[in-house]
A = this chain, B = another copy of it.
Amino acid sequence: MNGAESLVHTLLKSDVDTCFSNPGTSEMHFVAALDRIPGMRCVLGLFEGVVTGAADGYARMAGKPAATLLHCGPGLANGLANLHNARRAQTPIVNIVGDQATYHRPLDAPLTADTEGFARGVSGWVRTSMASKDVGADAACAVQAAMSAPGQVATLILPSDSSWDEGGVVAEKLPALARPVAAPNQILQAAAMLRRGEPTLIVLGGAALREGPMADAWRIAQATGARLIAQGSNARIERGRGRLALERVPYVVDLAVETLAKFRNVILVGVVRPTAFFAYPGKPGHVIRPDAEVSILTRAEQDPADALARLAEELAAPRVALPDAGPRPAAGRGALTPESVAATVAAHMPDQAIIVDEAVSYGRGFFPLTAAAAPHDWLAITGGAIGCGVPLATGAAIGAPGRRVIALQADGSAMYTVQGLWTQAREKLDITTVLLSNRKYQILLGELANVGANPGRTALDMMDLGNPDISWVKLAESLGVEAAQANDCERFSDLLAGSINRRGPFLIELMI
């Protein structure tokens, strides 16, 4: 058995059965092993950003890691931006990068690069398998590392000789490391803060944003008068009818500061102190009050569900019903506006839909306006590296088969990883992409206005996606995805409902 074969067997034993791949020459023995050994679903991406973003979306839904298969340092480099998003999402990924043979690396052949160096910035765990006998054991460690709470990118670099040499040894699955729980004093400190009766904010993130812990958080809020809020960017929120309608810390700094200004007491659950996405002259970096007292209920690695349940118990908070979300919105009518688009999506969203949100500026209001839709999961861009939406949708559809994915997708961001549409077509994934075609980097026009500039031609040109306009219908069709254009809500409704009632991907170009 060669190293590559031991790798595939070990991954399968460790319950990793999906591999998003973009192979090259140095991975041929890995490819041959995937070919010979049944059990691994291999999904080709035509660009590495698709591969890594899909691995992120997959794990957010499947709750376990996929493997990637990338080609050398530059292949990894192409996947880094979405690995950055995965790092911020705390997503488990077994990130496998084929590389030059151990003895070929010193020759500095053209494709040789600092693969480990590229990996470090996005990975919680990096290892290079230096011999075929180590590959299996290293792979089992990589899976365990990826799954270590709260989840992380584990990068395994596989020199080609470690892959092709005989002497591979299959490793058994390593036990999952138990997730640490909050210390008693963390629970008591939070409870003490809540008992003061002062305005208190509880900021939730990570695994706290599932149905169970959110119900406990609601009990706590009802018993103490505390206000609940989610951090700004979240990997996955369970929401919709019958679940808690949670606001998020606003993206716009002034709004965030205003929203949080009354809270001198802040409890953090699996999140760091909320910050502005960017610094602005004269504006604060932290968006909670500078004099706020902060209590950390759980750190990132600690189990927030356990902590919220214990906190509710400590406070003897009674079980209470969640507030009713109000009626399910009716589809919008007439002109396309952020509100009418959101209403239309909310009206048509099937039960257990997966919403992928890279709507950026146009879609800031989509989140609150869909709270009364059917129960769904909401997956957002977490690290600010645009170009995650198309791949996330691709991976989520594979990680949660049978559920419709609706990707709310800004045009500028979609261009970064547009190749992912092809994978959606090949794999016949049930994804509806709602492409928000405003033909500009709208978010930057707002930011430029904040700078106080009266923009001239040069600046406007750098934020303009028109000249030429991109035809998203043609672009999708060229990659095998059926598509159509909508200029009003009625047409959008028809297309959206139609796409949900059929199998496979569809793209709706919304001319907003």
Contact = CB atoms under 8 A, between A and B. Distances in A.
Nearest to A477: B474
A23 interface: yes
B455 A111 contact: no
A110 B480 contact: no
B28 A448 contact: yes
Interface stretch (A143-151, A180-188, A365-373, A378-386): A378-386
Interface in A112-130: 113-114, 117-118, 120-122
User: Which of A23, A74, A101, A456 is the most central at the interface, judged by chain B CB atoms within 10 Å of its CB?
Assistant: A74
B384 A110 contact: yes
B84 A77 contact: yes
Contact of A117 (B121, B286, B450, B463): B121
Contacts of A113: 84, 121-122, 383
Nearest to A69: B462
Interface in A75-100: 75, 77-78, 80-81, 84-85, 88, 100
Contact of A474 (B44, B285, B478): B478
Contacts of A457: 35
Given A74-B84, A447-B25, A109 B44 contact: no
Interface in A428-450: 443-444, 447-448, 450
A21 B462 contact: yes
Given A46-B412, A80-B74, A109 B453 contact: no
A107 interface: yes
A31 B78 contact: no
A23 B164 CA distance: 43
B470 A279 contact: no
A73 B383 CA distance: 11
A468 interface: yes
A80 B34 contact: no
A493 B191 CA distance: 79
Contacts of A426: 467-468
A64 B490 CA distance: 54
A49 B49 CA distance: 11
A109 B479 CA distance: 35
B285 A107 contact: yes
A451 interface: yes
A29 interface: yes
Contacts of A419: 415-416, 418
A337 interface: no
A47 B78 CA distance: 11
B467 A478 contact: no
Contact of A277 (B109, B425, B462): B109
A386 to B, nearest CB: 8
A23 to B, nearest CB: 6
A398 to B, nearest CB: 14
Given A474-B478, A478-B470, A385 B111 contact: yes
Contacts of A458: 31, 34-35, 40, 42
Contacts of A49: 78
Interface of A: 21, 23-26, 28-29, 31-32, 34-36, 40, 42, 44, 46-47, 49, 72-75, 77-78, 80-81, 84-85, 88, 100-101, 103-104, 107-111, 113-114, 117-118, 120-122, 160-161, 164, 232-233, 272-273, 275-279, 281, 285-286, 382-385, 387, 412, 415-416, 418-419, 422, 425-426, 443-444, 447-448, 450-451, 453, 455-459, 461-465, 467-475, 477-480
17 contacts: A31-B453, A32-B453, A35-B457, A42-B461, A74-B385, A75-B81, A84-B113, A101-B279, A104-B276, A110-B233, A110-B384, A111-B278, A113-B122, A118-B118, A164-B281, A470-B479, A471-B477
